[in-house]
Amino acid sequence: MGSTVATGRVAGKVAFITGAARGQGRSHAVKLASEGADIIALDICEDLPFAHSPHATWADMEETVRLVEAAGGRIVARKADVRSREQIDAVLAEGLEAFGKIDVVIANAAAIAYKNVLDITVEEFEATLDVNLHGVFNTVQTPVRHMIERNEGGSIILISSGVAYRATPSPDYSAAKTALITFARALANELGPNRIRVNTIEPGYVLTPALDNDKYGERTAELLGREPFASREEHRAAMWDQFKPRNMLPVGWVEPEAISNAVLWLASDESRYVTAEELKVDAGFADKSA
Amino acid sequence: MGRVEGKVAFITGAARGQGRSHAVKLASEGADIIALDICEDLPFAHSPHATPEDLQETVRLVEAAGGRIVARKADVRKRDEVDAVIAEGLEAFGKIDVVIANAAAIQYKNVFDLSVEDFEATLDVNLHGVFNTVQTPVRHMIERNEGGSIILISSGIAYKATPAPDYSAAKTALITFARALANELGPNRIRVNTIEPGYVLSPANDNPKYAERTARLLGREPFATPEEHREALWEQLKPRNMLPVGWVEPEAISNAILWLASDESRYVTSEELKVDAGFADK
Amino acid sequence: MGRVEGKVAFITGAARGQGRSHAVRLAEEGASIIAVDICHDVDLIAMPLATREDLEETVREVEAIGGRIVAREADVRDSAQLEAALADGIAAFGPPDIVVTSAGVVPFVPFPTMSEATWRTTIDVNLTGVYRTVKAALPSMVEAGKGGSIVFISSGIVFRGGGLVVDYASSKAGVVGLMRSLALELGPHGIRVNTIFPTNVLTKMLDNEVFGAVVSNAVNEGRPFESREQRVEAMRGMLAARNMIPLGWIEPKDISEGVLFLASDEARYITSESLRIDLGFGGK
């Protein structure tokens, strides 16, 4: 242990988080920091041409840094693209330099195009897989090598999606997120002897900048066959009503912090025997009767 | 401030093993406990069940952890006995926020030896007993209108074939029971989840009767000591788990209970939460 | 040469609906049928069950296509009745090669007010009844040493939950646990155990006033339907929305094709399998 006297449910641990500039990723970083972890964070911090909505900015990442530090954590935060192994490994090297180890990996970075099978090109399909599947492979492999070498186990958390259980248009995104579950299961089997646990979280609807933006507001209006929303609030109210019937619990979405609670549990030693688990945090979305 | 501060949890099979561990864990995080256990052997079950002394020890440990507890001897197969304990608990604590259906019994018989009566006996405790445990608290929760968390202890056996058709049927049924309940009770903000433990070392397997079974299965002479049995059991079970352990501690299951009981999991419902060192998917 | 030529099939719930369809389809492909059904209503189960006339109709239909059948009234809640029916069938055709557990009930009751007796009845028919059926057939199958195929009829509800079916859904999932365990144990005997998960099938199980009330509450503000036609149309719309292929239901024959495949030697290496025949219901 270092000289810092950390307390909390993940005291003294180091967590590597992708897509950490805003939304769920930021929430995980702040939650883990508030429970004693140090954070290695990356985010692409620029828009992806194929993705539907705008992605985060470097200013967003600076805000994550501010919030993590305010929660009492240390953080190494860099702009990097999960499609580039080189960029990821450079961030990891800096993080290891600063904190000496990685105990937890949270593969959170994602991108979605919202195209159906008739519109989506093979190139677009590949673009989605590049971020959501190959990007996870890139995120996980170097830390796994480090964990095996260090020989003190570890916790790897992949953010899958409720689309893994409920059919939705978006064949590319469905394929990638569903693949993550079996990817995790295979990894868990292989890395069990090294005491490296591998689990997925399947969020249902979560209100983050990925939905709560003007571009997505246009999409919602189009889907509902109505005129454009006059304000963000109006869009949110319509989305809440649109999503609520799809959940068992009487809510339209869950907060990023609710996902972070699951991340915290899986990152902590409280879940020390939990591996190959699919943990749904979804207000009952996956199993709701149609 | 504990993670379940001010909540009241009703736990069946609480005299020892996992049930006791859950009671103590929740008490240490601020909950009050309503506990029951049959506290006697079941003729059809393979190993001895808990005793009244065991339940007393749970009371002592819960109180030492700073919790209050109402603990009674009662049989989950009898609705009137379950309801009497719940009534006493409500009298003492005024509400129930969390239900943990943990009481179970297993006989280890295969299809050729297992009579239809044996099958029914297992369903009586492990399936009908859960129905009995859950329904009255659910009515209370609906009336109270502040939601609730119901946690059913299923088993890793729901994912892996084992020769115990009765126990497999009952424990697998619990998962869909939970899913149907979660669907029905979602509008009332009552969450319903299951936990699927893998191998757990508890008095249910850490006993001379079970040691005889292990020796027979391994085709070896009887074990001289409980330690010798545990070692053999660890080696026997370890290859079935992904993580290099033979079993998990009851406290590891309690960590999942605590999470599902707390508001940290406020949007988690209809979840099958495996705490099994990777048993199910190995 | 039929696909199950010379085999003997023991089928529960065979008086009407899916069970009858399985009997006729297997007979078409050369199997001799031992058919049982309770042939009377059951306390606490509001839906009307089959009648003796229904069972006689099954006999007529099987014989009309040149099949052989022994049909008996028997309650899956009573092992002695199952054993007696089976003994008659075995005397006529020899031991069963195929077992199909089609008998089932669904009361459609809300959980908070569900009586313990209702709960127990559903479990007793749908889960313990399956075990009783297997136990009745197993000794003669094992003794014959020819292996066999046991096909459980579960329900798509296992994958989706749903309202007013806590007891039914539990019983149908219990069958999955039972399948897995039995498939493991009976593998060495060459006996395969598989489960089919149908989506809705328009049989008397749904085409009745009890389910009509459920439909009415869901899509007709609780107002009673004026005619069966109106009820069936409302049901079609409500159920179609739950399936990927937007049909309200499938035909008993669609399930029978799955039963036939699993019962035949075409599926000789398939065991412990969950086969959904469901218009995509389980994945939607």
* Residue contacts between A and B (CB atoms, under 8 Å): 110
Q: Which of B245, B256, B270 sits opposite A248 (nearest CB)?
A: B270
Shortest Cα–Cα distance, B193 to chain A (Å):
10
Percent of chain A, pLDDT > 90? 91
Contacts of C152 in chain B (CB under 8 A): none
Q: Give the CA dihedral A111, A117, A120, A126, nearest 10 degrees.
A: 60
Shortest Cα–Cα distance, B94 to chain A (Å):
25
- C246 vs C240: CA distance, rounded Å: 5
- C278 vs C255: CA distance, rounded Å: 9
pLDDT tens digits for C40-77?
999 999 989 999 999 999 999 999 999 999 999 999 99
**Range C33-60 burial, b when 16+ CB lie within 10 A, else e:** bbbbbbbeebeebbbebbbeebbeebbe
Q: Which of A248, A265, A276 sits opposite B269 (nearest CB)?
A: A248
Average pLDDT, chain B: 96
Cβ of residue B159 closer than 8 Å to a chain A Cβ: no
Mutate which of B109, B176, B272 to disrupt the C interface (most C C-beta within 10 Å)?
A: B176
Domain at B8-200+248-275, CATH from 3.40.50.720, 3.20.190.10, 3.40.50.300, 3.40.50.920? 3.40.50.720
Nearest C-alpha in B relative to C115: B135
Angle between helix B52-64 and helix B17-28 axes, rounded to 10 deg: 20
The residue from A165, A173, A205, A216 that is catalytic is: A173
Burial of A233 (C-beta count, 10 Å sphere; 0-12/13-18/19+)? exposed
- Going by DSSP bridges, is the β-strand pair A75-79/A104-107 parallel, antiparallel, or unpaired? unpaired
Give the mean model confidence (pLDDT) for residues A260-265: 97
What tokens does A182 get? 């079996």
pLDDT tens digits for B86-110?
999 999 999 999 999 999 999 999 9
Contacts of C283 in chain A (CB under 8 A): 166-167
- C131 vs C125: CA distance, rounded Å: 10
Cβ of residue B274 closer than 8 Å to a chain A Cβ: yes
Shortest Cα–Cα distance, B173 to chain C (Å):
4
Residues of A within an 8 Å Cβ radius of C: 166-167, 287-290
Task: Determine contact, residues A75/A38, Cβ cutoff 8 Å.
Answer: yes
Burial of B187 (C-beta count, 10 Å sphere; 0-12/13-18/19+)? exposed
Cβ of residue B193 closer than 8 Å to a chain A Cβ: no
Spatial CB neighbours of A238, under 8 Å, sequence gap ≥ 6: A220, A221, A224, A226, A229
* Residue contacts between B and C (CB atoms, under 8 Å): 129
User: Which single residue is written with the structure tokens 């992806």?
Assistant: A48
Cβ of residue C193 closer than 8 Å to a chain B Cβ: no
Q: Which of C170, C175, C185 sits opposite B180 (nearest CB)?
A: C170
Q: pLDDT-derived band of residue C2, with 50, 70 and 90 as boundaries? A: very high
Residue among B97, B85, B129 nearest B26 (CA): B97
CA-to-CA separations, C224 to C107, C219, C260, in angstroms, rounded: 19, 11, 39
- The three-class DSSP label of residue B9 is strand
Whether the predicted pLDDT of C282 surpasses 90: no
Residue A49 neighbours by CB distance under 10 Å: 7
What tokens does C57 get? 């109709």
β-strand partners of B251: none
Task: Determine contact, residues B4/B98, Cβ cutoff 8 Å.
Answer: yes
Rounded (5°) CA angle A143-A259-A175: 70
Cβ of residue A270 closer than 8 Å to a chain B Cβ: yes
- B263 vs B147: CA distance, rounded Å: 11
- C89 vs B163: CA distance, rounded Å: 29
- Please name the chains neighbouring C, where neighbouring means 3+ C-beta pairs under 8 angstroms: A, B
pLDDT tens digits for C146-185?
999 999 999 998 987 677 899 999 999 999 999 999 999 9
Q: What architecture is the A14-206+256-281 domain classified under in CATH?
A: 3-Layer(aba) Sandwich (3.40)
Residue C268 neighbours by CB distance under 10 Å: 11
Whether the predicted pLDDT of A1 surpasses 70: no
Whether the predicted pLDDT of A5 surpasses 70: no
Contacts of C162 in chain A (CB under 8 A): 289
- B132 and C131 within 8 Å at the Cβ level: the answer is no
- B183 and A283 within 8 Å at the Cβ level: the answer is no
- C270 vs B45: CA distance, rounded Å: 33
What one-letter code names the amino acid at B262? S
Task: Determine contact, residues B134/B185, Cβ cutoff 8 Å.
Answer: no
Whether the predicted pLDDT of B129 surpasses 60: yes
β-strand partners of A75: A39
Whether the predicted pLDDT of B137 surpasses 70: yes
- C176 and B161 within 8 Å at the Cβ level: the answer is no
Active site residues of C: 168
- The three-class DSSP label of residue A66 is helix
β-strand partners of C103: none
Whether the predicted pLDDT of A155 surpasses 50: yes
Active site residues of B: 167
- The three-class DSSP label of residue B160 is coil
Nearest C-alpha in B relative to C271: B161
Percent of chain B, pLDDT > 90? 98
Cβ of residue C157 closer than 8 Å to a chain B Cβ: yes
- C174 and B169 within 8 Å at the Cβ level: the answer is yes
Residue among B209, B248, B207 nearest B230 (CA): B207
Q: pLDDT-derived band of residue A2, with 50, 70 and 90 as boundaries? A: very low
Task: Determine contact, residues C204/C16, Cβ cutoff 8 Å.
Answer: yes
Q: Which of A166, A288, A290 sits opposite C241 (nearest CB)?
A: A290
**Range A246-261 burial, b when 16+ CB lie within 10 A, else e:** bbbbebbbbbbbbbbb
pLDDT for residue A6: 60
Q: Does domain C8-201+250-283 have CATH number 3.40.640.10?
A: no
Per-domain boundaries in chain C: 8-201+250-283, 207-248
- A78 vs A64: CA distance, rounded Å: 11
- A264 vs B258: CA distance, rounded Å: 13
Secondary element (H or E) of residue B139: helix B129-144
Whether the predicted pLDDT of A205 surpasses 50: yes
- B114 vs B123: CA distance, rounded Å: 13
DSSP for residue B124: I
Give the mean model confidence (pLDDT) for residues C250-263: 96
pLDDT tens digits for A226-257?
999 999 999 999 999 999 999 999 999 999 99
- A274 and B271 within 8 Å at the Cβ level: the answer is no
Contacts of B157 in chain C (CB under 8 A): 177, 181
CA-to-CA separations, B8 to B191, C8, C107, C215, in angstroms, rounded: 15, 57, 33, 38
Nearest C-alpha in B relative to A249: B186
Give the mean model confidence (pLDDT) for residues A67-87: 98
User: Which single residue is written with the structure tokens 């020769």?
Assistant: B163
pLDDT for residue A290: 67
- The three-class DSSP label of residue B10 is strand
- C174 and B165 within 8 Å at the Cβ level: the answer is no
- The three-class DSSP label of residue A14 is strand
The full 3-state SS of chain C, as one line of letters, equals CCCCCCCEEEEECCCCHHHHHHHHHHHHCCCEEEEEECCCCCCCCCCCCCCHHHHHHHHHHHHHCCCCEEEEECCCCCHHHHHHHHHHHHHHHCCCCEEEECCCCCCCCCHHHCCHHHHHHHHHHHHHHHHHHHHHHHHHHHHHCCCEEEEEECCCHHHHCCCCCHHHHHHHHHHHHHHHHHHHHHHHHCEEEEEEEECCECCCCCCCHHHHHHHHHHHCCCCCCCCHHHHHHHHHHHHHCCCCCCCCCECHHHHHHHHHHHHCHHHCCCCCCEEEECCCHHHC
Task: Determine contact, residues A273/B248, Cβ cutoff 8 Å.
Answer: yes
Rounded (5°) CA angle A142-A147-A151: 155
Q: Please, which residues 219-278 of chain C have a Cβ atom closer than 8 Å to chain A?
A: 241-242, 244
Task: Determine contact, residues C198/C280, Cβ cutoff 8 Å.
Answer: no
Cα four-point dihedral sign C272, C277, C278, C284: positive
pLDDT for residue C162: 73
Q: Which of C112, C170, C182 sits opposite B127 (nearest CB)?
A: C170
pLDDT for residue A103: 98
Give the mean model confidence (pLDDT) for residues B228-252: 96
Give the mean model confidence (pLDDT) for residues A81-87: 97
Beta strands in chain A (DSSP E): 14-18, 38-43, 75-79, 104-107, 154-159, 196-203, 278-281
Give the mean model confidence (pLDDT) for residues C247-255: 95
- B275 and A279 within 8 Å at the Cβ level: the answer is no
What one-letter code names the amino acid at C109? V
β-strand partners of B193: B151
pLDDT for residue A169: 84
- C210 vs C222: CA distance, rounded Å: 12
CA-to-CA separations, A91 to A96, A288, B42, in angstroms, rounded: 9, 40, 60
Give the mean model confidence (pLDDT) for residues C111-119: 93
| DSSP assignment string, A127-195 | HHHIIIIIHHHHHHHHHHHHHHHHTS-EEEEEE--GGGTS--S-HHHHHHHHHHHHHHHHHHHHHGGGT
- C163 and B185 within 8 Å at the Cβ level: the answer is no
Predicted ipTM > 0.85: yes
- A248 and B182 within 8 Å at the Cβ level: the answer is yes
- A65 vs B86: CA distance, rounded Å: 49
- Going by DSSP bridges, is the β-strand pair A14-18/A196-203 parallel, antiparallel, or unpaired? unpaired
User: Which single residue is written with the structure tokens 């009751």?
Assistant: C109
- A287 and B252 within 8 Å at the Cβ level: the answer is no
Shortest Cα–Cα distance, C263 to chain A (Å):
30
Q: pLDDT-derived band of residue A3, with 50, 70 and 90 as boundaries? A: very low
- B170 and C120 within 8 Å at the Cβ level: the answer is no
- B92 vs C152: CA distance, rounded Å: 47
Give the mean model confidence (pLDDT) for residues C270-280: 92
* Residue contacts between A and C (CB atoms, under 8 Å): 20
Per-domain boundaries in chain B: 8-200+248-275, 201-247
